[in-house]
Amino acid sequence: MKVIHAKDYNDMSRKAANIISAQVILKPNSVLGLATGTTPIGAYHQLIDWFKKGDIDFSQVSTYNLDEYRGLSHDDPQSYHHFMRENFFDHININVANTHVPDGSNPNAEEACSEYDKIVAAAGYPDLQLLGIGNNGHIGFNEPDDHFSKGTHCVNLTESTIQANSRLFDRIEDVPRQAYTMGVQTIMYARMILVIASGAAKAQAVHDMCAGPVTPSCPASILQLHTNCVVVADEEALALL
């Protein structure tokens, strides 16, 4: 696990975008695993800026997002389908048919998760998987547990995750209580993993991910076992390392 020190959120975003852009420039038909939430927005906006300047071409790229809330339609403003269009896809030259997000609108969890596993496997798994990290050490929506998950599955979100995500909703009651998420094993199949973290609230999780024991009580800790994992975090997030 390689840890790259960033000065602040903007510096973290630029450094992460540099790594992602290098992947796409070196392999124009890259398979990218993407994340949502507030942390990657700066990196996405930097990539958009470079695209507009002609520095990067996404026309051959395919993407596979980590997760989606269960019960939200693709057009719901709080869905991750909508998030990715608003913050990234609508501003670059990616073929929308090559963008994939779990189908949260499908009430049949087993079917939705099985279908997503099939398309991710058919793509050969990501060349680069972008991850944020939750305050409790979750990656994707893989919450602390007594075991590491395998494929895409339906999860009950913890109260801490619901609280953290409530900032994006009008009321905490509106935050979905379940989500479909790629499993930890699927994430580990990526050839490179890029984790980004910013802010003091992430410091304990970043410490446990990088230096704590490998345990499903901190799902991100398994990344210590990946052969090509890079962490880009700012000073506050690295305070305990």
Tokens of 164: 């953290």
Segment (H or E) for 98: none
143 is catalytic: yes
Among candidate residues 143, 153, 165, 234, the one labeled active-site is 143
5 is catalytic: no
Measured distance CA(128)–CA(117) in Å, rounded: 17
Among candidate residues 100, 138, 153, 226, the one labeled active-site is 138
57 is catalytic: no
**Paired strand residues for 5:** 233
67 is catalytic: yes
DSSP reduced 3-state for 166: helix
Measured distance CA(159)–CA(6) in Å, rounded: 30
Tokens of 208: 């446990």
| Nearest CA-CA partner of 177 in 192, 166, 185 | 166
| Nearest CA-CA partner of 24 in 65, 49, 47, 57 | 57
- What is the CA 97 to chain-centroid distance, rounded? 20
Among candidate residues 67, 117, 208, 234, the one labeled active-site is 67
Among candidate residues 65, 68, 117, 136, the one labeled active-site is 136
Q: Which residues are catalytic?
A: 67, 136, 138, 143
